[in-house]
Amino acid sequence: MSNQIQDDYSEVYQRLPLKINLAYSMGHVLNDVCASMWFTYLLVFFHLVLEFDNWQAGCLLLVGQVADALATPFIGYHSDQGDNFYCCIYGRRKIWHLIGTVCVLLTFPFIFSPCIGCETSSTTARMVYYSMFIIIFQFGWAAVQIAHLSLIPELTPNQHDRTRLTASRNVLTVIANVLVYLVTWGVLHLSSENDTKIGPGDETKFQHIVWAVMAFGLVCSVLFHVFVKESWTTNGPRDVRGTIMRTSVRDLLTNVRVYHIAVIYMASRLFVNLTQVFITLYLHEALDMVASSLALVPLAMYIASFATSFIVEPINRCANRKTSFLLGSSLGLIACLWIRWGQGQEYTSYYIYAVGALLGASGSIITVSSLDITTDLIGDNTDSGAFIYGIMSFVDKLSNGVVVEVIQWLHDDQTNLWYYRDVLTDVCGGAIILGAFAVMVLRKRRDNVTKSREDLCVDGCSSIAAN
């Protein structure tokens, strides 16, 4: 009888091939290299190179985050509908991924370039110029992100395979970030006779960095579209007549659990993104470190993140999502406290890299865990998966943009050299505490929205055994 159960279960589900796992993980690399440049070097480029004020540079980042936040629910809803000819031909997720890729390729290089034809124009005119490219870029970035995330529950019903897909995606994210920092270090360090600080006149260096990393991202996107096939099927729980039971937008927006998990996702992204944004400004302003350190310390962060990515799935398998998230939160809190008290020659020469490693390891663990918690919320309800990811991304992007702008606007005293140290300690530490608290009070609950196909398969096999 047990053999019969196993055979019936195998017919329902087979483990995801390694080739598909690897090809899928490449689908977000172009977004990853652009996000790495965006969060790590946007404020550096606009403030130190183009000489915008702190609040103006923060405002441009806010424009991008708001555009991204508004785009994600729109893209998520229409991706779930799949109600046009191109979705039927190419796939409702992959068509949005393709549209987003084109938008990113056509706009991102202009963001890290001098204002073409308007170098001597007013600051307001230049901000409008950059804002146009930023808005289109963020729409494209959101389309790629939502399409890529919503493919996870489409490709496999097994929660361990879903975790493996998320972890593999994170590994490629880390590789993409490491590439960005290696290229940045090479360009900033090797193209200068003296290892000086970044300043006006470095526009060409940033252009070289952008084109180099985007070329790698484009190759990965092509491989993703070639090898990952999206089957045009409608998934989800069915009633006794075999009709798909769809979850309405109203039901999702009135589900308290959705907002609870959105807080967890928001807190994890705030910690990861804000550390990425302000670590370079902390190194430049508070610790007065040279230009190459603005690549080497983030590089240490992502090498640690890369190494940690391989143990997240075993931790989740042996323990659970909550334990994994709390472990990552503990490492992040230790790093924030170390930043508060760290100073002196030994700290800037050696210990700062250990701090970066702790930040990277923490970010890797809580990113994968928060995505896994979101995927658990979706369960088998893949026809609403993109919209749910859109809700999460909306909260994430809007909060990041507002927080960054407020931080930059409050930094009006240029003599306060420890301002960004306090930001990394108080704001990033606060975000990680908020996320940990939200995870601790999260209750495991099953409802008609989140029951997974794997559970349905097991229930089906059990009924077979009973017969």
Q: How many domains does the chain have?
A: 1
Instruction: Tell me what pLDDT residue 240 has.
Output: 41
Whole-prediction pTM value?
0.73
Task: Give a yes or no: residue 34 inside a domain.
Answer: yes
Task: Give a yes or no: residue 7 inside a domain.
Answer: no
Percent of the chain with pLDDT over 70: 84
Domain that holds residue 389: 17-231+249-456
C-beta separation of 218 from 225 below 8 A: no
CATH number at residue 123: 1.20.1250.20
pLDDT for 270 beyond 50: yes
The per-residue pLDDT of the chain, averaged, comes to 82
Token pair in block for residue 340: 């508060």
Task: Give a yes or no: residue 236 inside a domain.
Answer: no
More confident: 196 or 245: 196
Model pLDDT for residues 143-179, shown as the tens digit of each residue = 999 999 888 888 887 777 887 888 888 889 888 988 9
Task: Give a yes or no: residue 317 inside a domain.
Answer: yes
pLDDT for 246 beyond 70: no
Instruction: Tell me what pLDDT residue 382 has.
Output: 67
pLDDT for 417 beyond 80: yes
Token pair in block for residue 53: 């004020």
Instruction: Pick from 181-185, 297-301, 335-339, 454-458 the range whose average pLDDT is largest.
Output: 335-339
SS3 per residue for the chain: CHHHHHHHHHHHCCCCCHHHHHHHHHHHHHHHHHHHHHHHHHHHHHHHHCCCCHHHHHHHHHHHHHHHHHHHHHHHHHHHHCCCHHHHHHCCCHHHHHHHHHHHHHHHHHHCCCCCCCCCCCHHHHHHHHHHHHHHHHHHHHHHHHHHHHHHHHHCCCHHHHHHHHHHHHHHHHHHHHHHHHHHHHHHHHCCCCCCCCCCCCHHHHHHHHHHHHHHHHHHHHHHHHHCCCCCCCCCCECCCCCECCCCHHHHHCCHHHHHHHHHHHHHHHHHHHHHHHHHHHHHHHCCCCCCHHHHHHHHHHHHHHHHHHHHHHHHHHCCHHHHHHHHHHHHHHHHHHHHHCCCHHHHHHHHHHHHHHHHHHHHHHHHHHHHHHHHHHCCCHHHHHHHHHHHHHHHHHHHHHHHHHHHHHCCCCCCCCHHHHHHHHHHHHHHHHHHHHHHCCCCCCCCCCCCHHHHHHHHHHHHHHC
Instruction: Pick from 141-145, 346-350, 456-460 the range whose average pLDDT is largest.
Output: 141-145
Where residue 190 falls among pLDDT bands split at 50, 70, 90? low
| Mean pLDDT of all residues in 436-463 | 55
Task: Give a yes or no: residue 163 inside a domain.
Answer: yes
Where residue 105 falls among pLDDT bands split at 50, 70, 90? very high
Model pLDDT for residues 197-230, shown as the tens digit of each residue = 777 878 888 999 999 999 999 999 999 999 988 7
Task: Give a yes or no: residue 203 inside a domain.
Answer: yes
Task: Give a yes or no: residue 444 inside a domain.
Answer: yes
Task: Give a yes or no: residue 342 inside a domain.
Answer: yes
Instruction: Pick from 239-243, 304-308, 398-402 the range whose average pLDDT is largest.
Output: 398-402
